[in-house]
Structure 1
Amino acid sequence: MQQESLVEYGGRRVIITITAIFCALLEIVDTTIVNVALNDMKGNLGATLNEVGWVITAYAIGNVIVVPMTSWLSQQFGRRNYFAASIMLFTVCSFLCGNAHGIWELVFFRLIQGMGGGALLVTSQTIITESYPQEKRGMAQAIYGLGVIVGPTLGPPLGGYIVDNFSWPFIFYINIPIGVIATLLTLQFVRSPKYGVKKAINEVDWLGIGLLAAAVGSLQYVLERGQEDDWFDSTAIVVLTVVAVLGFFFFIWRELTYKNPIVELRVLKNNNLRVGTILSFILGFGLYGSTFIIPLYTQSTLGWTATQAGMLMIPASLMTAFMMPIIGQLLQRGVPQQYLVAIGMAIFFVYSYWGFKIITPDTGKDAFFWMLMVRGVGLGLLFIPITTLSLSTLKGQQIGQGASFTGMMRQLGGSFGVAMITTFIARKTVSHRSDLVSNLSVNNPDVQNRVHAMQNSFIAKGMSPDVALKSAYQMLDYSVGKQAVVQSYMDVFLYLGVLFLVCIPFVLMVKQNKKGGKVDLSEAMH
């Protein structure tokens, strides 16, 4: 069956597009929606903060194990069947998560839910693309990109609203009606391309599957839990780092020598895909890193609620949504992808530097608006062009394999970003605090005047002089600590911006598709 025969028209195409978008959104929203419910889960399930963190970790591990295998699984079972089975698995696990009676039961169901969700992202991207004729595939990619970019920012405000007005199991139950409808629509409307012959059970690369699961699962664990477990002071982190390194080494060797590999690594010989894979990693780093740091800063330093922090991100998401069709049109008119990526990276640097300049221990809400709007424009310019650049010179089945690589690297980029940012903030806060304290001499008249003013203020509230003095020193210590944390956040914004700035020359060195300025969207838009 030729690719073109999968093109749909009229109402049928609309239904397929909406189904695929909802599935992609389900998967992405579920990555971030639980963040705001962890406190309620902790109390309700009698778990420690460490244990409840596994609710996020397990989902990410399940996700990242399945994404690279998606192309092979689609071939093995037929894309429609595999997609429908993944939605069903995700939906059933959503129900089981909401009904969990203990923390480890919840963690186990989140792992399986993540495995169901991993397929939804990459497969929905391919389904949307193949449903559109060549001249409209720029718009198809823009529609898909909308879900991927908007999803992570929808999670926290939606989760905050549900937790504030209902109870935490409902963050999982809302998936059930959407999942049931999506499964029925998939079975009715989605068609599978004719793939090659399915592999017999004895030809399946079971060792490759085991090595991939061990390597990626261990790496994800190390990234998610490293800072909390004090990195290499923890035996588990050391052991799993060794497992990840050896797992990847033997996995690569296996896939390059086995006749029926689970992941086709040879597709990375394509120069554009190699560059796009690295750029997807950096995009994930910036997208998930900045989505993580802003709510963290506003909640922990400025004292905002989870809902307020989540709502702050929505206008920027709408700006990205506004940008998507415009960028789809620019690509279809032949604007080189690398120029758009370079402009996007420059804009992302502007956003980061802006963040570096405005954050203080008491930054007002209005100060964030235009800064986040700039972020929305930058992300819009990065997502679609990076995807098209990655896949623009691939043919046929390689497209699905390439999409799996870029999807996995975007996820891993996000995990690396969050892990490095949390570690960096923790280490830098200690260093900044030490520097600030070294400048606070008890003999300094300014310090003494500040302490006496606070002491007198406490005495006026009815405290005895000695208690008031102690409280004054505690207040001074608290403000030093807060200032140290804010300086750490400033450093994160600055370094994140510099990372994107440094990448610009390398992006501009990438060769344009040989067909000339115009991107072949029939191949690129998977």
Structure 2
Amino acid sequence: METSSNQNNLIEYGFKRALITFTCILCALLEIVDTTIVNVALNDMKGSLGATLTDVAWVITAYAIANVIIIPMTSWLSQQFGRRNYFAASIIIFTVSSFLCGNATNIWELVAFRFLQGMGGGALLVTAQTILTETYPAEKRSMAQAIYGMGVIVGPTLGPPLGGYLVDNFSWPYIFYINVPLGILATIMTIYLVKSPSYGQKQSAKEVDWWGMLFLIMFIGSLQFVLEHGQQDDWFEDPTIVLLSVLSFLGLFFFVWRELTYAKPIVNLRVLKDKNLQIGTVMSFILGFGLFGSTFIIPIYTQSILGWTATDAGMLLIPSSIMTGLMMPFIGKMIQSGVPQKYMVALGLCIFFGYSLFMYSIITNDTGSEHMFWPLIIRGIGLGLLFVPVMTLSLSTLSGKSIGEGASFTGMSRQLGGSFGIALITTFISRDSQHHRVDLIAHIDPSRFEVQQRIEGLQASFIGKGFSANEALAKAHQLIEGSVMKQATILSYMDVFLYLGVLFLVCVPFVLFIKQGKNKVDASNLH
């Protein structure tokens, strides 16, 4: 009953709830936009800081590693320091480190400050979701998840165009400086508006699960590094990747053992006994795979194949995100009205399959933005139908501190799903394009008249530009090789979309087998 009354004390109404909702979405957007905004600024950072491409990639890696380490610990840290204090401290860490990132004088300073920024940012997502869930009464929780979902879905898409605009019109430090005024506003609103639930006595330093923390860092930190750097380091051909893979496996083994045997674990794995949370965690992984995977591949395709600018590539995704945002309130209403979440998730998976098939059919070396508009609108509808029902289903039967613990698992799962998706896609494109190249070259027969005519035409063109006959012939062969490689890459992008779609379609039967109780969220489940 104490948990029940504590829960009821956290529920807000009217204008104050609207302000808390705004604060939570602002914080979620700050964190998510920062995961993608730096992508378009890497070249400028490389030039001004005198760094190599490998060095500058650490700007993304450091933030991602810090994110996935802190997310599982967020619920425990909230309980230790109080939700409001921890949330406010995380915003302050994020804001101060953003300012320090903008003032970095060399690449390793920037990487260190990005890691610190990720430690603050990782807490924002999960804590914002937990605060929103507790602020709304049980029957309106689907609407709370819909509002939160708008931030999570729109965030990754806003990053590239916003980053492109700031880099093109100002300079790369401004992608960090923009966080400072927003962070100050979010801190003030958090201190004045957010309440902290009471979950009993805090742990002393001796009781803290230090070993659990160490094993978690070992597992998640090593895994994230392997996923981020595996492809460029040739996976298990590289001794560092092999060592970190072994460390990650051992970290996972000892972490699970420690958390299940220690009296006061830093991550409560027992909350995963909840069937809905189990399903939600798996679905969050698949959602992260699809969301981040498709957000990652479209800008690469449009920039490397179609020759678009980073800003144009980022702008392409905005209608899709707007579509998802527009759908969120309607989906929230549908869940409140009693439409079973599993049917909405299954429909979302089917629609996402349709989007992937659509993209597979239209990708060429001169596809225009008008060709991709409707497929991306379909993507927006599919993601809307997936995100809110998955999040609502995950947390619907949890109460008290279990809500924060459950949100940590779904948040970490979504983040890892994105990392796995990007790692697999980059590896697949690299290797699949080589297979397609071999197949395409096999069809270029030097004895065919058309091939000879093409080579002679290109050779003549280069001779006309002042090259010798041998140089012109070598240039002609280079040009044909480039054309073949471009076509091979396009074919590998097509394959990625096809396989992504098949992955989502395969999940449909499993979703339909979910045994769901009542369609509406039952308030009694929260006591």
Preserved contact between residue 231 and residue 426 of structure 2 (Cα < 8 Å): yes
Measure how far apart 1:267 and its partner are. 1.3
- Alignment-derived partner of residue 230 in structure 1: 234
Q: Aligned match of 1:95 in 92, 99, 102?
A: 99
Matches within 5 A, 1:136-175: 136-175=140-179
Preserved contact between residue 278 and residue 394 of structure 2 (Cα < 8 Å): yes
2:297 counterpart of 1:293 = yes
Matches within 5 A, 1:364-443: 364-443=368-447
Preserved contact between residue 429 and residue 488 of structure 1 (Cα < 8 Å): yes
User: 1:64-87, CA deviations, whole angstroms, 9 ceiling, x for partnerless residues?
Assistant: 001011111111111000000000
Cα distance in 2 between the residues matched to 1:211 and 1:135: 38
- Alignment-derived partner of residue 21 in structure 2: 17
2:329 counterpart of 1:329 = no
2:497 counterpart of 1:518 = no
Structure 1's 522 and 165: CA in aligned 2 closer, same or farther, altered over 3 A? Answer: farther
User: 1:3-34, CA deviations, whole angstroms, 9 ceiling, x for partnerless residues?
Assistant: 12112223222221111110000000000000
Cα distance in 2 between the residues matched to 1:450 and 1:351: 37
Give SS of 2:37's match. helix
Cα distance in 1 between the residues matched to 2:272 and 2:142: 24
User: 1:476-501, CA deviations, whole angstroms, 9 ceiling, x for partnerless residues?
Assistant: 11110100110110110000000000
- Alignment-derived partner of residue 269 in structure 2: 265
Matches within 5 A, 1:453-464: 453-459=457-463, 464=468
Preserved contact between residue 139 and residue 521 of structure 2 (Cα < 8 Å): no
Cα distance in 2 between the residues matched to 1:178 and 1:328: 28
Measure how far apart 1:395 and its partner are. 2.9
* TM-score normalised over the length of structure 1: 0.97
Measure how far apart 1:460 and its partner are. 5.2
Preserved contact between residue 332 and residue 521 of structure 1 (Cα < 8 Å): no
Measure how far apart 1:475 and its partner are. 1.5
* TM-score normalised over the length of structure 2: 0.97
Measure how far apart 1:185 and its partner are. 1.1
Matches within 5 A, 1:63-74: 63-74=67-78
Give SS of 1:203's match. coil
Q: Aligned match of 1:351 in 340, 351, 355?
A: 355
Cα distance in 1 between the residues matched to 2:7 and 2:273: 23
Structure 1's 417 and 496: CA in aligned 2 closer, same or farther, altered over 3 A? Answer: same
User: 1:269-315, CA deviations, whole angstroms, 9 ceiling, x for partnerless residues?
Assistant: 22221111111000000000000000011011111000000000001
Q: Which moved more, 1:193-202 or 1:156-165?
A: 193-202
Cα distance in 2 between the residues matched to 1:134 and 1:519: 6
2:495 counterpart of 1:491 = yes
- Alignment-derived partner of residue 320 in structure 1: 324
Unaligned runs of 5+ residues in structure 1 are none
Measure how far apart 1:521 and its partner are. 7.0
Preserved contact between residue 276 and residue 395 of structure 2 (Cα < 8 Å): yes
Q: Which moved more, 1:406-415 or 1:428-437?
A: 428-437
Cα distance in 2 between the residues matched to 1:160 and 1:139: 33
Cα distance in 1 between the residues matched to 2:175 and 2:148: 23
Structure 2 counterpart of 1:132, one-letter code: Y
Cα distance in 2 between the residues matched to 1:328 and 1:431: 45
User: 1:106-163, CA deviations, whole angstroms, 9 ceiling, x for partnerless residues?
Assistant: 1111111101011100111111222223343322211110000000000000000000
Cα distance in 1 between the residues matched to 2:181 and 2:306: 37
Measure how far apart 1:415 and its partner are. 0.3
Preserved contact between residue 161 and residue 315 of structure 2 (Cα < 8 Å): yes
Preserved contact between residue 336 and residue 519 of structure 1 (Cα < 8 Å): no
Give SS of 1:518's match. coil
Cα distance in 1 between the residues matched to 2:467 and 2:356: 44
Measure how far apart 1:393 and its partner are. 2.3
Matches within 5 A, 1:102-251: 102-251=106-255
Structure 1 counterpart of 2:314, one-letter code: G
Cα distance in 1 between the residues matched to 2:505 and 2:524: 31
Structure 1's 9 and 269: CA in aligned 2 closer, same or farther, altered over 3 A? Answer: closer
Preserved contact between residue 341 and residue 519 of structure 2 (Cα < 8 Å): no
Cα distance in 2 between the residues matched to 1:261 and 1:15: 34
User: 1:245-273, CA deviations, whole angstroms, 9 ceiling, x for partnerless residues?
Assistant: 00000000000000000001111122221
Cα distance in 1 between the residues matched to 2:182 and 2:18: 16
Preserved contact between residue 6 and residue 193 of structure 1 (Cα < 8 Å): yes
Cα distance in 2 between the residues matched to 1:181 and 1:146: 20
Cα distance in 2 between the residues matched to 1:365 and 1:461: 35
Preserved contact between residue 138 and residue 521 of structure 1 (Cα < 8 Å): no
Preserved contact between residue 137 and residue 521 of structure 1 (Cα < 8 Å): no
Matches within 5 A, 1:500-511: 500-511=504-515
2:89 counterpart of 1:85 = yes
Cα distance in 2 between the residues matched to 1:413 and 1:521: 31
Structure 1's 520 and 236: CA in aligned 2 closer, same or farther, altered over 3 A? Answer: same
Matches within 5 A, 1:42-61: 42-61=46-65
User: 1:38-59, CA deviations, whole angstroms, 9 ceiling, x for partnerless residues?
Assistant: 0000011110000000000000
Aligned-pair identity in percent equals 67
2:272 counterpart of 1:276 = no
Structure 2 counterpart of 1:240, one-letter code: L
Cα distance in 2 between the residues matched to 1:269 and 1:10: 35
- The count of corresponding residues between Structure 1 and Structure 2 is 522
Preserved contact between residue 391 and residue 523 of structure 1 (Cα < 8 Å): no
Preserved contact between residue 277 and residue 409 of structure 1 (Cα < 8 Å): yes
Structure 1 counterpart of 2:121, one-letter code: G
Measure how far apart 1:450 and its partner are. 2.0
Cα distance in 2 between the residues matched to 1:134 and 1:6: 12
- Alignment-derived partner of residue 75 in structure 1: 79
Structure 1 counterpart of 2:105, one-letter code: H
Cα distance in 1 between the residues matched to 2:400 and 2:171: 46
Measure how far apart 1:464 and its partner are. 5.0
2:480 counterpart of 1:482 = no
Cα distance in 2 between the residues matched to 1:306 and 1:522: 50
Structure 2 counterpart of 1:365, one-letter code: S
Give SS of 1:202's match. coil
Cα distance in 1 between the residues matched to 2:215 and 2:21: 35
Cα distance in 2 between the residues matched to 1:151 and 1:461: 48
Give SS of 2:206's match. helix
Q: Output the aligned Cα RMSD.
A: 1.4
